[in-house]
Structure 1
C-alpha cells in the first residue's frame, strides 16, 4: 500500500514539491552562508519525493542554533513552501482518492516551516 501511495504521490505532487525544495537548497548553497539551510532543504526534498513509510522525529541534540536557524528559514523560505503544501493539500482533498495525499501534504507543513532539528526515520 505504501508503494502505491508513494507512486501516486510522486506523480501528483511529490515531484513538484521536491523541485521547490531543491530550488531553495540551491539558492542557499550558492549564497554560501546559509549552506546548512540548503542541506536541510535537500533532505526535505528527499522526504517530499517519497513520504509514506517514513516519519519525522525531533532531534534531542538540537539547541539554540537550530531555533535561530528555523526563525531565519521561516522568514526567507519556509513560508512559501508551507503555502505550497497547503494549496496542494486543499487541491488534493477535493477528490476522494486524493484525501490521503492531501493529509500527507498537511503533515509536511510543519517541517517546511521549521526543518532544522528534525530527522527523517523509517516507520
Structure 2
C-alpha cells in the first residue's frame, strides 16, 4: 500500500441536514455529531460550513459539513466491505468533485485497494 486515502467531495446549492444524515448513517457506522460554538461575535464567512459530523467504518472515516465531505484513512489499508459502503453513501450525498460550478479546483480520487 502507498499513501493513506484522502478524497474531498462537495454539494452545491443545498446543504445537508447533518442531524438527519447522522441518524441514517448511525444505523450502519460509528457516528459522532458535534456542534461548533458560535455567537454574535463570530464573523467567520463560512461558519455554516464547519464540519459537524464524523463517520467511521473500518479503516475509512469521513468528516462532513453541510457542503463538503472529506473521506480519509489514518493509515493506508485495503478497503473493507463496510468502507466501500461508506464511500458509496458519501459519494451519493456529495455528488460533486469540485467546490463550485466553475471548471477549476477538481478533486481527483486516488487509487485504492479493496480487501478480498
- Larger relative contact order (C-alpha < 8 A, sep ≥ 6)? 2
For the pair shown, the structure with the greater C-alpha radius of gyration is 2
Fold similarity call, TM over 0.5: no
- Kindly indicate which of the two structures has a greater share of residues assigned to strand: 2
Higher helix share: 1
TM-score when scaled to structure 2?
0.34
The alignment's TM-score, normalised by the length of structure 1, stands at 0.33
